[in-house]
Structure formats: C-alpha cells, structure tokens
Amino acid sequence: AELVGVAEVLDELVANLPLGTCRLVELARAACTGATMLLLDEPSSGLDRGETEAFEATVRRIHAERETSVLIVEHDMELVTSLADRVYVLDFGQLIAEGTPAEIREDPAVQQVYLGSAAAPARPRRRATRAPRRAGATRPAVRGPRDSR
C-alpha cells in the first residue's frame, strides 16, 4: 500500500474511492502478488491528467523497486511515450510500427492512422461499422518503462 500511495485508504471500500485512487489500488493488488510482469490494459482510461501522472509515477516506482516488467496497452500517447523504451503500434491487430517513442512520433503510418496527419500518405477508407476515434487517440502497445533493461 505504501509503494503505490494508498495506505491512507486501506479501510475504505474501493467502490467509495475516486477512479484515480481505484486504479492505484488495482496496481497495489497486482504488485503484491510478486509477479515479475504486469500487463496493464488501458490503465489511464477515464483518468484526468493529474491522476494519469500519479499512475505513471507509481508504475515507475513499482518497476524500479520490484524490478517488475510492464506491458501496457494504452491510447494515451503522452503516457506511452513517457514510460516506454520500446513501442509497438497496432492498427486493427496489424503491426504498423515499432521503435523508440521518438521514432514512433515521426512514423508516417502512425501519423496517418492515429493522428490524422495531412503530411502522411493517405490510407484506404475503413469499414463504416467501426466507431470513430477520439481526436488524438492512439492504440500503441508498450513494452516496459523507459529505464527497463
């Protein structure tokens, strides 16, 4: 509980906690299992910027203190590029790019598919049945915090 900063809410029902604190409790639960790898699926979904930054700091702390590897599937490109040392970007299950965060930000396919860049080559239109993406949304899959081995 101390590792993730939730010691003060140990006696509270999780259902009564704010979403950001609930995510930290979830991390605490996962970290206390002694797992050597954490798989986090869209952990920043629904969090505001401050909650996301607290979550990021907690993931870094877990990684550093427990030497835990972290795999994150996340749409928040800012979170992804700040945590990751390697990023894999998927578009409908197909790998379209892999590299460092800097390489991913400059990749034309990533810009076109996820950021809507006018500079990148046009891609064929997609099926009309899929839901539209939020502006600036991304779908990277991430391996490990930046300082991982």
Q: How confident is the model at residue 48 (pLDDT cuts 50, 70, 90)?
A: very high
Please give the radius of gyration of the chain, using alpha carbons only, rounded to the nearest integer: 17
pLDDT tens across 73-109, in order?
998 888 998 999 999 999 999 999 999 999 999 999 9
Both structure tokens of 41: 């699926």
| Torsion 107-104-73-142 (CA) sign | positive
| For range 112-122, the mean pLDDT | 64
pLDDT value, residue 118: 55
Return all residues near 100 (Cβ < 8 A) that are at least 6 apart: 85, 86, 87
Helix (H, G, I), strand (E, B) or coil at 96: strand
pLDDT value, residue 21: 86
Both structure tokens of 131: 């839901």
Tell if the pTM clears 0.85, that is, is over it. Answer: no
pLDDT value, residue 108: 93
